[in-house]
Amino acid sequence: MEQIATSAAMTAWSVSQKNEGLTIGFVPTMGFLHRGHASLMSLLRPRVDRLVVSIYVNPLQFAPNEDLDTYPRDIEGDLATCRAEGVDCVFMPPDLYPDGFSSSVSVHGLTDRLCGASRPEHFDGVTTVVSRLFGVTRCDLAVFGEKDYQQLAVIRRMTTDLALPVEIVPGALIRDDDGLALSSRNKYLSADDRARGLSLHRALFKMATAYDAGITDAEAILAAGREALTFDRLDYLELVDAVSLQPIERVERPARALVAAFFGSTRLIDNVHLGPPWT
Ligand code: AMP
């Protein structure tokens, strides 16, 4: 498995693979890898000739009061995970942006609501880093987890709008045995916060159950969720159209229930599909 630390070396590696006619799949991550990340690697592995994983904690997507400096790291563990998943190349740049870097990529509309309302600079940081990583890795396919459902929608919009030559592949949300959505940030949770954090999953499950029982009115479904939800501070609980992410009054098309809440000082997010399946 190759380990590459500079953008120039990464691009040179990718170009040499592509000159051989090989396809490149890409899994961008911030490291501290868990089974959720591994599932994205194994989803892409059979679809591409070469699989690249990046490990980069992107400063652009953290606000000054967020956890950039304390974001958990475990490089040895991450490399072991990548090896086990058959990754060909791990890109781990200490710095990703060139001297004088002065560009940014913004997706409007989709980024104003949900996580974007409380983290106003976050998605510009994500779209900017993903654009640069697409350029550096020259990937043909890239996978993004449904765990960060709004992020997936924003990246899809950006890729379509800018005609980027990358196929975006969605990866299912992977949960721990108790139902908590796997996240690198779960490490911050005390045992008590973690137990209370399970209410996110319970609330979403209640909403899905209400829909399955024949309720399509969004307010009634949201009420079922609110009843099961406990938190220290709620950011949002919403029921939205699965594509536009706009609130809906009735579930008639594919929809998504999304929640974000604080437990202690840790902010957790979770989401679930509701409504007819995607065609
Ligand atoms: P991160 O390292 O948190 O930036 O995440 C890197 C990628 O892994 C993103 O596409 C996430 O959506 C995805 N991911 C994180 N947690 C999970 C999970 N529990 N299930 C599926 N994908 C995940």
Per-residue pLDDT tens listing for the chain (279 residues) = 999 999 999 999 999 999 999 999 999 999 999 999 999 999 999 999 999 999 999 999 999 999 999 999 999 999 999 999 999 999 999 999 999 999 999 999 999 999 999 999 999 999 999 999 999 999 999 999 999 999 999 999 999 999 999 999 999 999 999 999 999 999 999 999 999 999 999 999 999 999 999 999 999 999 999 999 999 999 999 999 999 999 999 999 999 999 999 999 999 999 999 998 877
Instruction: Report the atom number in ligand 1 closest to the C-alpha of 144.
Output: 10
Catalytic residue among 34, 37, 122, 201: 37
Q: Taking a C-beta distance cutoff of 8 angstroms, is the pair 110, 149 a contact?
A: no
Q: Taking a C-beta distance cutoff of 8 angstroms, is the pair 25, 47 a contact?
A: yes
String of DSSP letters for the chain: -EEE-SHHHHHHHHHHHHHTT--EEEEEE-SS--HHHHHHHHHHGGG-SEEEEEE---GGGS-TTSSTTT----HHHHHHHHHHTT-SEEE--S--SPTT--------STTTSTHHHHSTTHHHHHHHHHHHHHHHHT-SEEEEEGGGHHHHHHHHHHHHHTT-S-EEEEEPPPB-TTSPBP-GGGGG--HHHHHHHHHHHHHHHHHHHHHHTT--BHHHHHHHHHHH---SEEEEEEEEETTT--B-SB--S-EEEEEEEEETTEEEEEEEEESSPP-
Ligand 1 pocket residue status of 148, Cβ below 6 Å: yes
pLDDT value of position 277: 85
pLDDT value of position 152: 98
pLDDT value of position 143: 98
Instruction: Report the atom number in ligand 1 closest to the C-alpha of 32.
Output: 2
Whole-number Cα distances in Å, 274 to 239, 240, 242, 250, 257: 9, 9, 9, 11, 7
Q: How many angstroms separate the alpha carbon of residue 168 from the centre of ligand 1?
A: 14
Please state, as a whole number, how many other Cβ atoms lie within 10 Å of the Cβ of residue 84: 11
pLDDT value of position 156: 97
pLDDT value of position 278: 77
Ligand 1 pocket residue status of 275, Cβ below 6 Å: no
Confidence (pTM): 0.97
Catalytic site includes residue 37: yes
Report the alpha-carbon distance of residue 38 to residue 28 in Å, rounded: 12
Report the alpha-carbon distance of residue 257 to residue 222 in Å, rounded: 9
Instruction: Report the atom number in ligand 1 closest to the C-alpha of 172.
Output: 21
